[in-house]
Structure 1
Amino acid sequence: MISVVEHDERRRAAAKCAGCGRIGIVHVWPDGTHKPLGQTTFCDCPDPTLRLLEEEREAGDDLP
């Protein structure tokens, strides 16, 4: 499993944009909501779909 850091009610995790493949760090809340850390987005896609890398690993997808 990819390591994450606990912080209050949220944690940090690596995520990848499904459109362009760019990887960045996001905050993840207990309800599953996730947003890029310290910015509104980490890629230039008009409507990025971010997937947590730990979800891809659990699904059996290849990691970059």
Structure 2
Amino acid sequence: TPPPSPQPQPTEPPPPPAPAPTWTSEPAWPTAVPPTSAVEPTQPAKPTDPAGPTPDPPDPGLGR
């Protein structure tokens, strides 16, 4: 009979963590600001895409 007792106990611990997330929701706003800066670095990489097609035309020109 002793083993069954410990099983029901683990189900109680889960509830406490739920109330904690409510406070974390506030700090979440400031964290959204840093991610935006990461987008800037990605922008410069886009220009390289259009540059790819440019080399295509020069290829035929060098084709004798």
- TM-score higher than 0.5: no
| Greater percentage in helix | 2
Higher normalized contact order (CA 8 Å, seq sep 6+, divided by chain length): 1
Q: Please say which structure displays the higher CA radius of gyration.
A: 2
Q: TM-score, normalised by structure 2?
A: 0.15
Structure with the largest fraction of strand:
1
